[in-house]
Amino acid sequence: MKKKSLLFEKRARYGYIFIIPLIIGVCFIFIPNLIQTFLYSVGTIDTQNGFKVVFSGFSKYKEAVRSDPNFMPMMVSNMKTWVINVPVILIYSLLIATMLNQKFKGRVIARVIFFIPVILSVGALASTDSTAMYYSGAGQSIENTVGSSATAFTDMSVLLASINFPKFLTDIVVNAVSNIYEIARSSGLQIFIFLAGLQEIPYSVYEAAAIEGCSSWELFWKITLPMITPHIAVNAVYTISLVADSADGMFWYTNVLAFSENQYALANAMNIIYLSALAIFVAIVLLLMKKIVSNANG
């Protein structure tokens, strides 16, 4: 037991060494900027006596929640997007990773194909892709097909409603089908992490369970899913940050308030509220995943 604990501690130290750059960034960049953002949200910038912040209370938080006509609807819309898109991306990533973990010809090429969207969604390549789509007239072709797409999604909603499918699940299915490109583009790294977790499961475990008479369905639910629950937690946090970062409307709105209308305190108050809601959502997901992992280990 002593040797095992020492080995565990040694591996834990390697993990901490690996995340040292992240710890430095959080301590010296993220936290100071977060504190400064909070100070700007509760203060007024005095430019007459030099650039300094004078405390003015939490009135801007009340204004953001109660008076602003755009902030709360955008918040509710973004939170709905988190609840819908995060499970869809995780399920899609897990299914694709499970498929890519099987032995078949061309497996390496298939893995590269599913990881290409990650490369295309980064930096200059993403800008080039969107610019090329705009100048090639893709926007016009998309506009021409909006009517048929909307009709197709409406027909799907009616079909699911006719079989008494729950409305919440109907919204998830229709949203997933309508945003399949965005889901595929946002799932590359999650597929990679899930694939690494699947390859850590010893094949002898599957062989022993198959000898005992377990079906493929039972192998997935009783072996695969419990053993990759830590990877699900990691992917869940990453996916939440990815989905939240794509909330262009929220960030555009706060930037307009800050730099076009000079309402720095109100814009920073909205950013703090948005980050707080995101932190609470991440905490809830982590608590649920911790409970699932403990039950799986038990």
CA Rg value for the chain? 24
CATH 1.10.3720.10 in the chain: give the residue spans: 70-297
Q: How confident is the model at residue 50 (pLDDT cuts 50, 70, 90)?
A: low
Instruction: Give the up-direction half-sphere exposure of residue 266: CA atoms within 13 A in the CB hemisphere.
Output: 20
For residue 264, the model assigns a pLDDT of 86
Tell me the sheet residues that pair with 46: 52
Residues whose CB falls within 8 Å of the CB of residue 84, separated by 6 or more in sequence, listed in order: 171, 172, 175
| Phi, psi of 157, deg, nearest 5 | -65, -45
Q: What is the pLDDT of residues 5-25, one digit of tens each?
A: 677 777 778 888 888 999 999
| CATH (residue range 70-297) | 1.10.3720.10
* CA 51 – CA 280 distance, rounded (Å): 33
What is the pLDDT averaged over residues 47-51? 62
Bridge partner list, 47 = none
pLDDT score of 62: 92
CA 149 to mean position of chain CA atoms: 26
Distance CA 195, CA 97 (A): 5
Residue 44 β-bridge partners: 54
- Residues 284/287/292/293 CA torsion (nearest 10 deg): 140
**Between 92 and 129, the higher pLDDT residue:** 92
> Does residue 27 register a pLDDT over 90?
yes
Q: Name 114's Cβ contacts closer than 8 Å, sequence gap at least 6.
A: 96, 100, 187, 188, 191
Tokens 């949203």, located at residue: 175
Enter the tokens of residue 218.
């039972």
pLDDT of residue 194: 92
CA distance 267 to 60: 9
pLDDT for 119-148, tens place per residue? 665 554 455 554 444 444 444 443 444 444
Q: Does pLDDT of 292 surpass 90?
A: no
Q: Tell me the pLDDT band of 268, cut-offs 50, 70 and 90.
A: very high
Give the 3-state secondary structure of the chain.
Answer: CHHHHHHHHHHHHHHHHHCHHHHHHHHHHHHHHHHHHHHHHCEEEECECECEEEECCCHHHHHHHHHCCCHHHHHHHHHHHHHHHHHHHHHHHHHHHHHHCCCCCCHHHHHHHHHHHHHHCCHHHHHHHHHHHHHCCHHHHHHHCHHHHHHHHHHHHHHHHHCCCCHHHHHHHHHHHHCHHHHHHCCHHHHHHHHHHHHCCCHHHHHHHHHCCCCHHHHHHHHHHHHCHHHHHHHHHHHHHHHHHCCHHHHHHHHHHHHCCCCHHHHHHHHHHHHHHHHHHHHHHHHHHHHHHHHHHC
CA atoms within 13 A of residue 261's CA, in its CB half-sphere? 10
pLDDT reported for residue 143: 43
Question: Which pLDDT tens digit goes with each residue over 171-217?
Answer: 777 777 777 777 877 888 888 899 989 988 888 888 898 898 888 88
